[in-house]
Amino acid sequence: MRFYNSSLRLILYTFITITGLCDKSDPRSDQGYPSGLMSVCPGSTKPASIPRSQLKYLLFVVQGRGHTRKKYNYWTARNIAKDPRINFTRKTLLLALGYLDSTNFPISSMLANEYEAREYNIIMVDYQRFATVHYYLASRLMRPVGKHVAEVLTQLMESGLNPSKLELLGFSLGGQTVSYIAKNFQRFTGRNISKITALEPSGPCFRTLGPGDRLDSSNADFVEVIHTNIDGYGMATKMGHVDFFVNGGEYQPSELLLYPCTSTCSHFRVLALWVSALKNPKEFIAIKCDSIQQARDAKCYDRRPVETNVMGPKVNRSSHGIFYLSTGKGYPYYLGANGLNANYASWRQISYVNESDDVEIYT
């Protein structure tokens, strides 16, 4: 058994080394490796619009009062203010999901239930109709989707929604959609949304775009971004006031020895991390880095003075920058203060292939 484990570790180690070597052939820039999955998409900045006849498919699902839900569309959304689940003296969360996603799928309830327990009003945007087309087109359609969602939020503001109590939470493609929502909201009202939390904002089709065409720290009073697969489905760019690069931001440690956590696994890991951060708001302690490259290489431990921030709802809004966050392999993932100690980093545990008790595989 020990032989078996050690061999697997060796395979993993080799795999990681080879991946690392391939990556290093790319010229480095301060932002990270310039290449990544689907860097450039033809026509990605061309104008896109949604015909009025299609706006009835832009849906808003309100959740509250013991996980009950009611669905509105673009034309009926002004009635959200009168929904018994809504109380605008409380905070409001608007949730935007990813490519192909729907509010009927479990990701939305997983997140919404957490916020409902914290007494937020919850409005989930369901744009599945526009996100279930070719990804190139979906990424373009998020611009008009963002504009129309901002129109709805502007109407709700007239009925008591307070932008300083409004937060947007976006995952994957939704992490870019929230940017379009917030930018249009600024344009319509001259006000900022209080907070954007972007979980793995999409990289494909967005990598080479400037701040006007993707998520940026100028979009809200405070923007928190979490990166878990920067060269795959995510994006190696600083887009917030605070950007957390979890375990370097590219691949996440695997709970299972047999299976490395691939791009898809690493991309979706951010959801479990965020749920854990909501439940354990002081435990995901991250170290400040000078660049994304430093974070990617886990070379921030020796930076002096040590500056930290905590990923999640207790994030320090005045401590800005790029942060390296080390986690464990399994839920609840956090390491607390041990996260500041290099010896607890997951990549080290994987790369200890010559520990004394494993030596027999080489003999």
Ligand X SMILES: *[C@@H]1O[C@H](CO)[C@@H](O)[C@H](O)[C@H]1NC(C)=O
Q: Select from 79, 87, 113, 263 the one that contacts ligand X (CB under 6 A).
A: 87
- How far is it, in rounded angstroms, from Cα 302 to Cα 279? 30
Using an 8 Å Cβ cutoff, are 168 and 94 in contact? yes
Binding mask 219-248 for ligand X (x = CB under 6 A): -xx---------------------------
Residue 192 lies near ligand X (rule: CB under 6 A): yes
Residue 316 lies near ligand X (rule: CB under 6 A): yes
Binding mask 103-142 for ligand X (x = CB under 6 A): ----------------------------------------
Run of H or E including 324: strand 321-325
Stretch of 3-11, 65-73, 253-261, 315-323 contacting ligand X, by CB under 6 A: 315-323
Residue 202 lies near ligand X (rule: CB under 6 A): no
Residue 352 lies near ligand X (rule: CB under 6 A): yes
Taken in order 25, 29, 33, 35, the sign of the CA dihedral is negative
Mutual angle of helices 173-189 and 135-158, in 10-degree steps: 40
CB atoms within 10 A of CB 191: 16
Residue 343 lies near ligand X (rule: CB under 6 A): no
Residue 194 lies near ligand X (rule: CB under 6 A): no
CB of 2 to ligand X, least distance (A): 17
- How far is it, in rounded angstroms, from Cα 247 to Cα 305? 21
CB atoms within 10 A of CB 32: 25
Residue 160 lies near ligand X (rule: CB under 6 A): no
Residue 351 lies near ligand X (rule: CB under 6 A): yes
Q: Select from 69, 78, 85, 90 the one that contacts ligand X (CB under 6 A).
A: 90
Backbone angles phi, psi at 354, to 5 degrees: -115, 30
Alpha carbon 190 to chain centroid distance?
Answer: 26
CB-wise, 109 or 319, nearer to ligand X?
319
Using an 8 Å Cβ cutoff, are 349 and 255 in contact? no
CB-wise, 23 or 307, nearer to ligand X?
307
Q: Select from 25, 53, 89, 343 the one that contacts ligand X (CB under 6 A).
A: 89
CB-wise, 40 or 306, nearer to ligand X?
306
What DSSP assignment string belongs to 304-355? SS--EEE-STT--TT--EEEEE---SSTT---GGGGGSGGG-HHHHHH-TT-
CB-wise, 56 or 282, nearer to ligand X?
282
- How far is it, in rounded angstroms, from Cα 60 to Cα 91? 17
The candidate with the shortest Cα–Cα distance to 62, out of 35, 87, 31, 83, is: 83
CB-wise, 98 or 163, nearer to ligand X?
163
Residue 294 lies near ligand X (rule: CB under 6 A): no
Tokens of 23: 């990556």
- How far is it, in rounded angstroms, from Cα 289 to Cα 286? 9
CB of 56 to ligand X, least distance (A): 30
Instruction: Write out the residues near ligand X by the rule CB under 6 A.
Output: 87, 89-90, 192, 217-218, 220-221, 316, 318-319, 351-352, 354
